[in-house]
């Protein structure tokens, strides 16, 4: 006669809740990982530490180990770059060329500030009023024309250019312009005209914006701060059609993996 198996002990009720908690935590961390660009190795170490704490030192579950094995595979490590990263790759050689060009342009060229803005995917070139315009005027100084012509190295590049005029916050009294809005827009338009008439850019590549005193780089009420805020910026970025082409190429590459 066959022996009867002893009755199985029921698992304690808290174990089901604990298992659900572990699954939810894993899902939460995977979601955070998919939305960020954290270091994969540090993320793996953090999950391992949490798992050992909650699971009594057992470390990764089989599902977790399989996930990290796939994350560390060559196919994952060699994943295609994002569209924004591709834009930065396009702009970096231009940025380096501009830095070299203006560093060799004497004392005036050294006053020009250039930044490769990786968040916005553009190059920001800042010309202070001291080398570009006389106070309250929109006529380009001769030396400013010379410095603008240095942008000829961008002539055949597939880029979009935004010229932005900035002033300080002190009101205008008398003269040709009624407000800082008019002055900032007129200065930006004068720069755009020079770039177009000199053959550096085509009209469809250029956009003009006047921002008056709405974006100060120094909010203090001092002569030095006012001087910093009076400036013209040229923002260089891949044109919209080129951006769309890059995005399409990235998507096609991702679909092949």
- Torsion sign over Cα 81, 83, 88, 89: positive
Q: Tell me the CATH number at 92.
A: 3.30.1330.60
User: Are 235 and 165 members of one domain?
Assistant: yes
What tokens does 230 get? Answer: 């009076």
Average pLDDT, the chain: 80
Query: By the 8 A CB rule, do 114 and 102 touch?
Result: yes
CA distance 139 to 104: 25
75: pLDDT strictly greater than 50: no
**The pLDDT of residue 171:** 94
pLDDT tens track for 127-155: 999 999 999 999 999 999 999 999 999 99
**The pLDDT of residue 192:** 98
CA distance 184 to 230: 9
User: Are 157 and 181 members of one domain?
Assistant: yes
In terms of C-beta density within 10 A (0-12 exposed, 13-18 middle, 19 or more buried), how is residue 242 classed?
middle
User: Are 96 and 151 members of one domain?
Assistant: yes
**The pLDDT of residue 67:** 58
User: Are 225 and 112 members of one domain?
Assistant: yes
254: in domain: no
Helices then strands, counting H and E runs in the chain, come out as 11, 5
| Cα Rg, the chain, nearest whole Å | 29
Confidence at 20, pLDDT banded by 50, 70, 90: confident
3: in domain: no
User: Are 117 and 156 members of one domain?
Assistant: yes
User: Are 130 and 180 members of one domain?
Assistant: yes
CA distance 90 to 129: 30
Query: By the 8 A CB rule, do 86 and 76 touch?
Result: no
170: pLDDT strictly greater than 80: yes
Full domain range(s) for residue 113: 83-244
pLDDT tens track for 208-256: 999 999 999 999 999 999 999 999 999 999 885 444 544 454 455 545 5
Query: By the 8 A CB rule, do 216 and 119 touch?
Result: no
User: Are 92 and 171 members of one domain?
Assistant: yes
Q: Indicate the pTM of the whole model.
A: 0.63
Among 50, 77, 104, the domain boundary falls at 77
pLDDT tens track for 175-218: 899 999 999 999 999 999 999 999 999 999 999 999 999 999 99
14-18, 102-106, 227-231 — which one is most confidently predicted on average?
A: 227-231
Strands (E), 153-247: 159-166, 206-210, 231-238
**The pLDDT of residue 25:** 76
2: in domain: no
User: Are 104 and 230 members of one domain?
Assistant: yes
User: Are 31 and 124 members of one domain?
Assistant: no
**The pLDDT of residue 155:** 93
**The pLDDT of residue 228:** 96
CB under 8 A, 24+ apart: contacts of 36-41: 40/71, 40/72
Spatial neighbors of 165 by CB under 8 A, at least 6 apart, are 183, 184, 185, 186, 187, 188, 191, 209, 210, 211, 232
Number of domains in the chain: 2
- Cβ neighbours of 37 (radius 10 Å): 7
Higher pLDDT, 230 or 10: 230
In terms of C-beta density within 10 A (0-12 exposed, 13-18 middle, 19 or more buried), how is residue 172 classed?
middle
């Amino acid at each position: 006669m066959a022996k009867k198996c002893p009755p199985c002990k029921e698992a304690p009720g808290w174990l089901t809740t604990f298992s659900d908690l572990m699954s939810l935590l894993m899902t939460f961390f995977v979601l955070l990982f998919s939305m960020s660009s954290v270091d994969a190795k540090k993320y793996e170490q953090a999950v391992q530490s949490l798992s050992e704490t909650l699971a009594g030192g057992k470390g990764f579950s089989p599902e977790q180990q399989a996930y990290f094995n796939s994350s560390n595979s060559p196919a994952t490590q060699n994943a295609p770059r994002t569209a924004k990263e591709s834009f930065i790759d396009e702009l970096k050689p231009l940025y380096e060329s501009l830095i070299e060009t203006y560093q060799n342009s004497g004392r005036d060229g050294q006053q020009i500030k250039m930044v490769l803005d990786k968040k916005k995917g553009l190059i920001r070139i800042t010309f202070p009023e001291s080398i570009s315009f006389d106070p309250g005027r929109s006529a380009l100084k001769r030396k400013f024309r010379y410095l603008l012509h240095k942008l000829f190295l961008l002539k055949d590049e597939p880029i979009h250019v935004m010229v932005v005029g900035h002033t300080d916050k002190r009101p205008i009294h008398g003269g040709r312009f009624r407000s800082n809005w008019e002055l900032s827009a007129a200065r930006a338009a004068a720069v755009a005209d020079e770039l177009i008439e000199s053959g550096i850019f085509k009209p469809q590549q250029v956009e003009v914006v006047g921002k008056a005193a709405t974006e100060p780089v120094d909010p203090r009420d001092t002569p030095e701060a006012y001087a910093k805020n009076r400036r013209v910026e040229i923002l260089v970025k891949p044109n919209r059609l080129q951006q769309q082409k890059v995005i399409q190429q990235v998507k096609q590459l991702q679909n092949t993996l």
